[in-house]
Amino acid sequence: MSVAKLEQLSQSVVQDPSLATGAIPTKDWMDIPVVFKPGNYAYPAKQDKVEYLNSQKGLNFPNAREWSPEDDDWKLPENWKEIIIDGLGERLEKFRSLKIFMDCCVRCGACADKCHFFLGTGDPKNMPVLRAELLRSVYRNDFTLAGRILGKMAGGREMTVGVLKEWFMYSYQCTECRRCSVFCPYGIDTAEVTMMLRELLHLVGIGINWILEPASNSNRTGNHMGLQPHTFKDNVDFLAEDVEGLTGVKIEPTFNRKGAEILFITPSADVFAEPGLYTAMGYLILFEHLGLDYTWSTYASEGGNFGLFTNNETMKKLNAKMYAEAERLGVKFIVGGECGHMWRVLHQYMDTMNGPADFLEVPKSPLTGTVFENSAATKMIHISEFTADLIKHGKLNLDKSRNSHVKATYHDSCNPARAMGLMDEPRYILDHVVDWVEMPENTIREQTFCCGSGTGLNTDEIMELRMRSGLPRANAVKYVEDKHGVNMLSCVCAIDRATLTSLMDYWNPNVGVCGITELVGNAIVLEGETRGELDEGLRTMVF
Amino acid sequence: MKYAFSFLAVIALILIAWLGSQIPGMQYFFGVAIPYLAVMVFLGGFIYQVVQWAKSPVPFSIQTTCGQAKSLDFVKHNRLESPHTTPEVVARMALEILTFRSLFRNTKSEVHAGPKITYESSKWLWLFALIFHYSFLVIVIRHMRLFLNPVPEVIAWLDWADSMFEIGTPALYMTDAGLLIGLLFLFSRRLTNRQVRYISLANDYFPLLLLIAIGVTGVLMRMFLRDGIDIAAIKQLGVGLVTFSPVITADIGSIFYIHLFLVCVLLVYFPFSKLMHLGGVFLSPTRNMKNDSRQIRHINPWNPEIKVHAYSAYEDEFREFMVDAGIPVEKEPEPTEETPAEAPA
């Protein structure tokens, strides 16, 4: 899909009539049908991927088929409506959040202009309140007294194929970033609504390939890239060789090693693609510097969890590998790498779904003796918590000047910020390894803007949409680029490293993207190193 | 259109009460039967709704953290925005419910040429929502003097404090003004703010207009249409209602019945509408949960039994590759065909 030129899109965002730029549609939103055309939808999941997932014990992905959003006929099962309404009823009984969020909204509009998709597209249905109304209208019609009696007058509407199509369109134009929930006076969280919509759609065989293929890969090969064990190992070994080339220090990472003290799990993208590779090199350097007794796993080789974007059953099944592997290898605790949604799963879901992890010990840093009480139950700590503690105790030999080619800013990833409260640990680390500045206050910490492509939306066929929804983030980076000469956007998220790179290339081509641990790794002075001048840190090409 | 419809509905309700209360004998219907019915529906509906919510479990710990979590010793914990203990949650909820903390954060975003997106603080909604809700609360408490004999000190004091500026005769209650000003702001905002206008339903206009009508009829009764407003008779009815011995001893003006009827409509409407945010705000999982989900296990009562894709299955599929790559395996590969499986004895 070709993407609009920068000038075109820049003008379009500001001038095209939209609710964001001041034009109010003349028709009621319920009367505006969705129209699918190339570029505004992500490709449907391939039939064999859906069938594979459906064949897995505990998962339910029925009605696999070939279909296209652009066709009138989506080949829905005959009783699709019954499936949807029953599915909604079941979820209302399982999730108090859903019931409360359906009943309590007063449509005050505080969330309306908080959504990056709304700011970038101006589409009224991208206001969080309307995204929820897409479901709420059906809920009212079928599950509330007022709706049953008054119908449309009470804001209810019949479940139709048109409504279903609308659900597909807009539940895949939400990245579950939860920014709206910060501003809502009742804490209504659109992520919950989007998750429910996606769960319901899967019941009638509607999903996107960019999510379901990685989910099935994660199940089978252990990681979403589909890397088989030997390939995964090769990739990490290549990175270790690169580190040796840069520093002269030979690193020999281990895999699936029983008896290691720590199991390290990070998103597989970090061992596979730029610029995540440099973050992975940072991990290797950091652990080598510490002489840490740790192992990688090829079986649990994915930190990310595409189940979070699918349904809670898939999330549980994929996540279960972490504890299964930790128990098999007999490690004491788990350290998790930099990733956004992965950490939402680890912080808010893992222990509930797959705990208790009583075969592990409360994490205790072997270097500083710090006991991580905040992870006493899950036994899994964030690499930034681990690193910040090391720096505080002076355990790292850091040379900040090695990052003098970098003027950084810091992007709070949605989930660590709003679903975990991990905000100051990365900042503490940055203070010690690089010269950096904050972006404007309405765009950081709990108010941070999504990269625009989270929850499995970082697929190329919707590139224009991604560039639009990423605009609020890109715009804040532009602000510090112009004002402070920022040339690097640092973050603690693997999806960010992939998606912000596209976003920066488009809106702010002079700004790169890196993980925090890349900067840490580059600043570390390794024992016995023979490192020369590396103008671009770990990114320097040396042959 | 949606506001016009709501407007007509409120007018119709006023007409029903006005005309109805003038029919001989119907005073008891509007003054006694309807209020009892309304209170029963309100209480029953409210409890039903809360029970319905409470029946659904909270499977996952989904707090929205709006500040730094409790972490390492040297990282400053934001106890209000990322509460870790029950008292901290109570404090967060108190701020939310008593001061509308989240609404206070509100910003207004605009897209300018460039493109350049700006965010500016926008506290009007917060301010007028606060004025409206507190005025309403005080008004409800003040009205208790009509139901209690003797009037508790605190209510008498509230009554005095509310009218202490002595504007007009009888003195205008500040909260009456606050209520109406707040409601008018909220209503006009629905018409003028383009985003809010587009999302507003009849369900949004109707309660605003109903409340405005209640406020206006109340003020009219107190300040202007005082003919036939026999406060002693009204109080006797009020006290009679709560002691289950209601009597209507005098002809009370229609404006009273209109006011009362609209309040009854509000009570009946309440549990089946968005007004239940009064109850829901206490139960919102993103706000009322502790951010301690890595420290203390949260239990999901319906946690499904789902087995992991087992390591053994994984190794079975990739064993040879793993052995070739020097990755440790649990089970050595089967001997290849070169060595016969069944060696002759």
Cis peptide bond prior to A440, omega within 30° of 0: no
Chain A partners within 8 Å of B188 (Cβ): none
Measure the CA–CA gap between B190 and B187, rounded to whole angstroms. Answer: 5
The residue assigned the tokens 């069938």 is A51
- Least Cα distance to A154 among A170, A166, A176, A137 occurs for A137
Classify strands A488-491 and B107-112 as parallel, antiparallel or unpaired: unpaired
> What is the pLDDT at residue B25?
85
CA distances from A310 to A176, A269, A415, B45 (A): 12, 19, 17, 35
Q: What is the mean pLDDT of residues A12-17?
A: 86
Chain A partners within 8 Å of B201 (Cβ): 107, 154-155
Query: Closest Cα of chain A to B296: distance in Å?
Result: 6
B272 and B313 housed in the same domain: no
Q: Are A251 and A243 in contact (CB under 8 A)?
A: yes
CA-based max dimension of chain B: 119
B257 and B320 housed in the same domain: no
Domain that holds residue A24: 12-207
Residue A328 lies in a domain: yes
> In b/e form, how buried is each residue of A20-47, taking b as 16+ CB within 10 angstroms?
beeeeeeeebbeeebeeeeebbbebbee
Q: Do A425 and B276 touch (CB under 8 A)?
A: no
Q: Are B102 and B117 in contact (CB under 8 A)?
A: no
Q: Per-residue pLDDT for B343 more than 60?
A: no
Question: In degrees rounded to 5, what are phi and psi of residue A489?
Answer: -105, 110
Query: Closest Cα of chain A to B94: distance in Å?
Result: 12
Q: What is the mean pLDDT of residues B162-189?
A: 91
- Per-residue pLDDT of B274-322, as tens digits, reads 999 999 999 999 999 999 999 999 999 999 999 999 999 999 999 999 9
CA nearest A9 in B: which residue?
B115
> What is the pLDDT at residue B337?
60
Q: Do B283 and A144 touch (CB under 8 A)?
A: no
Q: Are B104 and B123 in contact (CB under 8 A)?
A: yes
The residue assigned the tokens 């099944």 is A317
Q: Is B302 on the interface with A (CB under 8 A)?
A: yes
Chain A partners within 8 Å of B106 (Cβ): 110, 183
Measure the CA–CA gap between B181 and B175, rounded to whole angstroms. Answer: 9
Q: Is B22 on the interface with A (CB under 8 A)?
A: no
A348 and A282 housed in the same domain: yes
A174 and A92 housed in the same domain: yes
A353 and A483 housed in the same domain: yes
B89 and B198 housed in the same domain: yes
**Binding-face residues of B in 169-188 toward A, CB within 8 A:** none
Q: Per-residue pLDDT for A4 more than 90?
A: no
B182 and B97 housed in the same domain: yes
Q: Is B54 on the interface with A (CB under 8 A)?
A: yes
User: Please, which contacts does B92-100 make with residues 24 or more away whose CB atoms are closer than 8 Å?
Assistant: B92/B287, B93/B282, B93/B287, B93/B288, B96/A185, B96/A187, B96/B281, B96/B287, B97/B281, B97/B282, B99/B130, B100/A185, B100/B126, B100/B129, B100/B130, B100/B133
> What is the pLDDT at residue A2?
63
Q: Is B296 on the interface with A (CB under 8 A)?
A: yes
Measure the CA–CA gap between B246 and A465, rounded to whole angstroms. Answer: 65
Domain that holds residue B154: 2-288
| Residues ≥6 apart with Cβ < 8 Å to A85 | A138, A142, A159
Measure the CA–CA gap between A190 and B149, rounded to whole angstroms. Answer: 49
3-state DSSP percent of chain B in helix, strand and coil, to 5? 60, 5, 35
Residue A160 lies in a domain: yes
Q: Per-residue pLDDT for A24 more than 90?
A: no
A83 and A226 housed in the same domain: no
A529 and A433 housed in the same domain: yes
Query: In chain B, how many domains are there?
Result: 2
> What is the pLDDT at residue B166?
80
A470 and A394 housed in the same domain: yes
B318 and B245 housed in the same domain: no
* DSSP codes, B10-34: HHHHHHHHHHHTTSTTHHHIIIIIH
B225 and B336 housed in the same domain: no
Residue A5 lies in a domain: no
Q: Is B67 on the interface with A (CB under 8 A)?
A: yes
Q: Do B56 and A378 touch (CB under 8 A)?
A: no
- Per-residue pLDDT of B106-151, as tens digits, reads 999 999 998 999 999 999 999 999 999 999 999 999 999 999 989 9
The residue assigned the tokens 């090829």 is A298
CB nearest A352 (choices: B106, B108, B299):
B299
- Per-residue pLDDT of A332-343, as tens digits, reads 999 999 999 999
Residue A6 lies in a domain: no
Report how far apart the first and last C-alpha atoms of chain A are (Å, whole number).
Answer: 37
Last residue of a domain, one of A207, A240, A271: A207
Q: What confidence tier does B345 reach under pLDDT thresholds 50, 70, 90?
A: very low
Query: Closest Cα of chain A to B85: distance in Å?
Result: 12
Query: Closest Cα of chain B to A521: distance in Å?
Result: 22
- Per-residue pLDDT of A456-473, as tens digits, reads 999 999 999 999 999 999
B311 and B185 housed in the same domain: no
Q: Per-residue pLDDT for B338 more than 60?
A: no
Q: What is the mean pLDDT of residues A207-215?
A: 97
Q: Enter the ipTM.
A: 0.94
Q: Which two tokens stand for residue A125?
A: 């249905």
Measure the CA–CA gap between B338 and B344, rounded to whole angstroms. Answer: 14
A171 and A230 housed in the same domain: no
- Least Cα distance to B41 among B293, B295, B291, B267 occurs for B267
- Least Cα distance to A541 among A320, A309, A338, A274 occurs for A274
| Mean of pLDDT over chain A | 96
- Per-residue pLDDT of A433-445, as tens digits, reads 999 999 999 999 9
A265 and A172 housed in the same domain: no
Chain A partners within 8 Å of B196 (Cβ): 107-109, 112
In terms of C-beta density within 10 A (0-12 exposed, 13-18 middle, 19 or more buried), how is residue A368 classed?
middle
- Per-residue pLDDT of B11-42, as tens digits, reads 999 999 999 998 988 999 999 999 999 999 99
| Residues ≥6 apart with Cβ < 8 Å to A44 | A66, A67, A68, A69, A206, A207, A208, A209
B110 and B81 housed in the same domain: yes
Query: In chain A, how many domains are there?
Result: 2
Which residue did the predictor score with more confidence, B225 or A293? A293
- Per-residue pLDDT of A387-413, as tens digits, reads 999 999 999 999 999 999 999 999 999
Residue A1 lies in a domain: no
The residue assigned the tokens 């319906």 is B302
Question: In degrees rounded to 5, what are phi and psi of residue A294?
Answer: -135, 165
Chain A partners within 8 Å of B107 (Cβ): 113-114, 183, 442
Residue A491 is inside which H or E element, if any? strand A488-491
Query: Closest Cα of chain B to A68: distance in Å?
Result: 30
Q: Is B331 on the interface with A (CB under 8 A)?
A: no
The sign one gets for the Cα dihedral B277, B281, B285, B286 is positive
A323 and A441 housed in the same domain: yes
Q: What is the mean pLDDT of residues B217-228?
A: 87
CA distances from A304 to A287, A417, A495 (A): 21, 17, 9
Residue B302 lies in a domain: no
Measure the CA–CA gap between A78 and A65, rounded to whole angstroms. Answer: 14
Residue A251 lies in a domain: yes
Q: What confidence tier does B249 reach under pLDDT thresholds 50, 70, 90?
A: confident
> In b/e form, how buried is each residue of B109-141, taking b as 16+ CB within 10 angstroms?
bebeeebebebeeeeebbebbbbbbebbebbeb
CA nearest B68 in A: which residue?
A421
- Per-residue pLDDT of A44-93, as tens digits, reads 999 999 999 999 999 999 999 999 999 999 999 999 999 999 999 999 99
A285 and A159 housed in the same domain: no
